[in-house]
A and B are shown apart, each in its own frame.
Chain A
Amino acid sequence: MKRQALVVTAVVITLAVLVAEAGLGQAARAVSYTLLEVLAALALTALGAACTALATPATRRWLDAAVTRGLEVTGALPVVLLAICVYRGVSTSLLVALVVGSLGALRAARVALRHPLHTADRLHFPSWLARRPLWLTTALYGLQASITAVPAQVVGLGAALTWLGWAPASCDWGGRLGQLAERGQRLSLVPYVLGTVLLSLSLQAVYKRWLTAPR
């Protein structure tokens, strides 16, 4: 209870500082854009894991080879360089969600291919999930490795693209963070960083509370 109160207080303070820093309209837009980007990236990640559950044994080998090559290609390129290579005038928000989601999907697919869930494993998940199809369980299982990192990656990539001047600044936290970093306004970065940390911890708490059962 004490911890929940602490988190709620932190969220309220962060939002208040954010509104004071950027104004109500811009703050609302930044929060909604960032949430959408993170959710889109997580959805792509889950999709990557789910695909492995739908693959037949014959296609698993090919899928594994494709995922491995994909990981090797993305491994050789810094993410920010990869993003600028695929950038073709789409919005920076979409680009960021796409790149982070694709990398997460490759990683989740690799984990799910190497350590697949079986029907019996669903018992370890909450009761509402245990009766659902295996691909859904696998999709949620695939999120486990990314759930903490995705908010930081989404915000970080957006900020990096803006700071380096490689893509126009978006309305989200990443775009704003990049702009502030470019101008050297260090103190103004605080609410955005705090917001990212809180978002990350909240997602993790939600995942732990609703999507995994205590062992």
Chain B
Amino acid sequence: MRALLRRLAWLFARLVLLSLLCFALVSRLATRHPTPTVELSDRYGEANLPRFINWPPRDLHTRVAEQLTKLAQGESPGAERELARLGGAALGSVSDALRMASPETAHRLCRAMLPVLTRMGELDPTDTLPSNQACGQLIRSWEEHSRDFRPVVARRWVQRLGEQALASRRSEVATLDTFALGELIAAMPRVRDTKTQAQARRLTAAAAGAAGLPWVIRDGTPLDTADGLVLRWKRWWTLHQLEYSELRGPKRLAAVVTETQYGHWVATVFTPGLGVDLTGQPIASSLLSALPPSLVVLLGGLLGAWGAAATLTWLRSRLKLERLGGWSGRIIGSIPPVALAAWLAPPNDSAARLLLATVVVGATVALGATSVLASGSHLALFRAGTNPRHHLAQDLRRLLAGFSTALGPDWPWLMTTLILVEHAFGLRGLGAWTVAAVARGDVAALMALTLGCLLTLMLLELALDREQSPVPGTEPRSPS
């Protein structure tokens, strides 16, 4: 039992280490799509974060201080835009800074906060307030509402809005602007029926108003699209919450690791459905829906290849045909699978397409399987002069060990063949899913695939309990 626990702990440690290494590779894909759009602003946010270490973490306080410094130095439209984006969450810090700022800086600060006051409902959008009055309005608004800028109040008001969409409740939440974003997004329910859809519609509308994002659920939005939008909001918040909140104490220390691209990805692994991809679809469900055709092709190909290899080995040993399959095997093994996939015309019938794809995948594995079986060490099953039944369990295990030995190094090539075969035959499996994810630069989706492959290979290793020979020269010395 202790050995098993130790082994599981070691597997977990390996999984963490390997996921780090894989992430270092896969996350490079995101930077190949440098043009951020509003639709993909979750990727934009992710790409702006450091990959593994965020030191020092930039929270709301840091960001506001940076913008204030810029405004103190002179005109800065960028800083004004950033303060307007940070919105109500930054209002307290801005009001504090206003008291100590020079008249020019105060003027720029107040001008920057005018859009926020408009969103809060303190100003009419059509009003053009002179800058000397803007500061007065800002101070008045803060004095009037500062007591409401508390998490407890935000939670209560958001809860009330979720229950019923009265105009008064909408304006209450709007007053808090971006300060309420965390509560709004936390309160968004997964959309399962019309009731949860209505609740999500009210909350997404309020969040969209504060954050300036277009992810709003409308009257005719289908349930699954609405659910995808809710998941997209949640993902967006995990990426951007640091911009709207302040870090204190241990949270600041933890943020060094958690507020990174890798930290965010790990957080999505523990969310329902493995989070969402960049199209707003839950990753787990889209991955599972792509799995069946790929599983048929992979397992069919592997089993077919191993069946053929076992038959060939048996024929060679029983009929003394040592040269059987030697040349033909080498020739088949030298043909790039991509050529095989491109050569065979995809039939119209989907079942025939699946069968043909299985044959191509099987052909690429057959040579490796034949060589492993022909080596004899893994195939006691066909030993002459022994009763196979006596050794069946042991031999099957050896056969499986041989299978995994051959499959291990060939796995990445096998997956490449799968991607190409599905691309060639128009199958909508894992290959097509991967191609689409690469096109989007969707790191979370590709990491889910990588994690799946890692887990599969590790569980296979654990199940087979493969004995690993120690590295020569590193055996512990016996006491002498």
Contacts and interface: CB of A to CB of B under 8 A. Distances in A.
B312 interface: no
Contact of A72 (B334, B335, B413, B457): B457
A69 interface: yes
Nearest to A110: B409
B29 interface: yes
A204 interface: yes
Nearest to A111: B409
B contacts with A: majority SS: helix
Most buried by A among B18, B342, B419, B453: B342
Interface in B355-401: none
B457 to A, nearest CB: 6
B262 to A, nearest CB: 15
A134 to B, nearest CB: 13
A5 interface: no
B336 A155 contact: yes
A contacts with B: majority SS: helix
B469 interface: yes
A164 B420 CA distance: 8
Contact of A60 (B29, B424, B474): B474
Nearest to A71: B409
B236 to A, nearest CB: 25
Interface string A48-62: 000000000100110
A153 B413 contact: yes
A78 B412 contact: yes
B409 A85 contact: no
Interface in A32-84: 57, 60-61, 64, 69, 71-82, 84
A126 to B, nearest CB: 22
B339 A177 contact: yes
Contacts of B434: 78, 81
A85 B412 contact: no
B328 to A, nearest CB: 11
A76 B415 CA distance: 9
A77 B412 contact: yes
Interface string B460-480: 000000000101111000000
A75 B343 contact: no
Contact of B408 (A75, A81, A151): A75
A180 interface: yes
A144 B17 CA distance: 31
Interface in A67-119: 69, 71-82, 84-86, 88, 103, 107, 113-114, 116
A81 B446 contact: yes
A64 B339 CA distance: 35
Interface stretch (B19-27, B74-82, B149-157): B19-27
A3 B411 CA distance: 34
A134 B338 CA distance: 38
B416 A157 contact: yes
Contacts of B335: 152, 193, 196-197
Contacts of B423: 163-164
B208 interface: no
Interface string A162-205: 01101000000010011011001010010011001101110010
Nearest to A162: B338
B345 interface: yes
Contact of B412 (A82, A113, A177): A82
Contacts of A178: 338
A117 to B, nearest CB: 11
A64 B471 contact: yes
Contacts of B451: 76
Contacts of B318: none
A160 B330 CA distance: 22
Contacts of B473: 57, 60, 116
B338 A159 contact: yes
Given A57-B473, A76-B18, A200 B29 contact: no
A142 interface: no
Interface string B23-35: 0011011000000
A4 to B, nearest CB: 15
Given A148-B334, A159-B336, A177-B338, A76 B453 contact: yes
Contact of A149 (B21, B333, B438): B333
Contact of A75 (B25, B412, B471): B412
Contact of A85 (B14, B26, B469): B26
B454 interface: yes
A180 B424 CA distance: 13
23 contacts: A60-B473, A61-B471, A61-B474, A69-B14, A72-B18, A72-B457, A73-B18, A79-B413, A81-B446, A84-B29, A86-B28, A153-B336, A155-B336, A156-B416, A181-B339, A186-B342, A186-B343, A186-B345, A189-B342, A193-B336, A197-B335, A200-B330, A200-B333
Interface of B: 14, 17-18, 21-22, 25-26, 28-29, 330-331, 333-339, 341-343, 345, 408-409, 411-413, 415-416, 418-420, 423-424, 434-435, 438, 446, 450-451, 453-454, 457, 469, 471-474
Interface of A: 57, 60-61, 64, 69, 71-82, 84-86, 88, 103, 107, 113-114, 116, 148-149, 151-153, 155-157, 159-160, 163-164, 166, 174, 177-178, 180-181, 184, 186, 189, 192-193, 196-197, 199-201, 204
